[in-house]
Amino acid sequence: MSEGPLSGVRVLDLTNVLAGPYCSYQLMLLGAEVVKVEVPGQGDLARQLGPDPDLNRRGLGASFLAQNAGKRSVEINLKDDAGRDRFEGLVADADVLLENFRAGVMDRLGYGWERLRETNPRLVYCAISGFGQTGPMSGAPAYDQIIQGLSGMMSVTGTAETAPLRVGFPVCDTIGGLVAALHIAAAVAGRSRTGEGTFLDVSMLESAVSAMGWAVSNYLVCGVEPRPMGTQNATSAPSGTFNAADGHLNIAANRQQQFEALCAVVGRLDLLTDPRFTDREQRKAHRDELNRELDRALGAKSAGEWEDLLNAAGVPAARITTVPQMVGLDQLRHRGFFTDLPFPDGSDRTLRVTGTGVLHDGEPLRPATPPPLLGEQNHEHWNAALVRDARPEAT
């Protein structure tokens, strides 16, 4: 598609590392113009983060490259007069300002919501923080792992012997970024009706708890405290990870018809008449015995073979892959999920980045340019008034 749904929307991105940059990356893929406002000579901390020390030294850390394609970069010092003048000019012309400082930092810099609303009444201001801008923990520092632990997420991850465990990727940062992107898009849409900006106070803790689903609602509604179950699904059985001849396989036979089809495919129709397994509640109560019986049958074929046979019978099943195996999946290739870009420094390396997981009119949303070098657009955006008339009018 030639233009995304947020085409004409300008986002000033003051964020660092992951939650904020992930949010603005989603907005960029949706068509917004994202201008990273970075500290001169330093930039986003993610420029120094990643497994390649050489890239980190050059301000092109993998963590930065993964979330910042398609954006622009300007260096602004918010503590000197020239920098403040430049920043205020950009704010006057922006549609969205996104920051993930600790609560109160922007106020101390003189750029809290009340001040910026005077400069630009149509501004959508989004602040992402660990705990939100209010409350007894609002001033506390937070990273993804802190939120994982405080949300209860780690307490239900792993087994009874290994919990609490951290989820193997920064899931709370990602959820916080997605929640922020959703509400920014909604606020921009709402502004077309009201003509007024909005202040969005995003709490990573609350976003994470909201995303935990049954682990929280079962306790709120029924008073049932969740427990760690490793690879098993507490709501049904058989539903979890099983052992095939060559590795692991996930099966989710959550419905009676699926359980019956599973037993037929693996050649264990006798399980259907076993009183321990006749219905959902009996299968949950005898989960370990059922899993052992199924593992014996599943050892006859590879995980890939079972995946094909079970899916053909209407039973959700799939191999467990490594990250390299996932990247090679034909399904992702077919949908154009990854995009290859030139490397920012002009070298002959190729940079591969992810998409959104959504096709718009049958087409994936892709970044058009690689992540910016620090300050790459310093002069282009020095005078916001010069570029205002050249861009489409935002809603």
* Domains of the chain with CATH codes: 10-211+331-388 (3.40.50.10540), 239-243+248-319 (3.30.1540.10)
Whole-prediction pTM: 0.92
Task: Please tell me the predicted confidence (pLDDT) of residue 389.
Answer: 37
Is 133:103 a contact under the CB 8 Å cutoff? yes
Q: How confident is the model at residue 379 (pLDDT cuts 50, 70, 90)?
A: confident
List % helix, strand, coil for the chain (3-state, nearest 5).
40, 15, 45
Task: Please tell me the predicted confidence (pLDDT) of residue 1.
Answer: 55
Task: Please tell me the predicted confidence (pLDDT) of residue 387.
Answer: 39
pLDDT at 114 over 80: yes
* Contacts with 293 (C-beta within 8 Å, 6 or more apart), sequence order: 268, 271
Q: Catalytic site residue 361?
A: no
Q: What is the pLDDT of residues 241-275, one digit of tens each?
A: 999 999 999 999 999 999 999 999 999 999 999 99
Kindly state the average pLDDT of the residues 119-133.
97
Q: How confident is the model at residue 134 (pLDDT cuts 50, 70, 90)?
A: very high
- pLDDT, mean over the chain: 94
Query: 319 to each of 202, 234, 326, 328, how far by Cα in Å?
Result: 36, 20, 10, 13
> Shortest CA distance to 119 belongs to which of 85, 90, 92?
92
Q: What is the pLDDT of residues 196-226, one digit of tens each?
A: 999 999 999 999 999 999 999 999 999 999 9
Structure-block tokens of residue 233: 């699904």
Choosing from 93, 95, 144, 173, the catalytic residue is 173
Task: Please tell me the predicted confidence (pLDDT) of residue 2.
Answer: 67
In percent, how much of the chain has pLDDT > 90?
Answer: 94
Give the count of beta carbons closer than 10 Å to the beta carbon of residue 388. 13
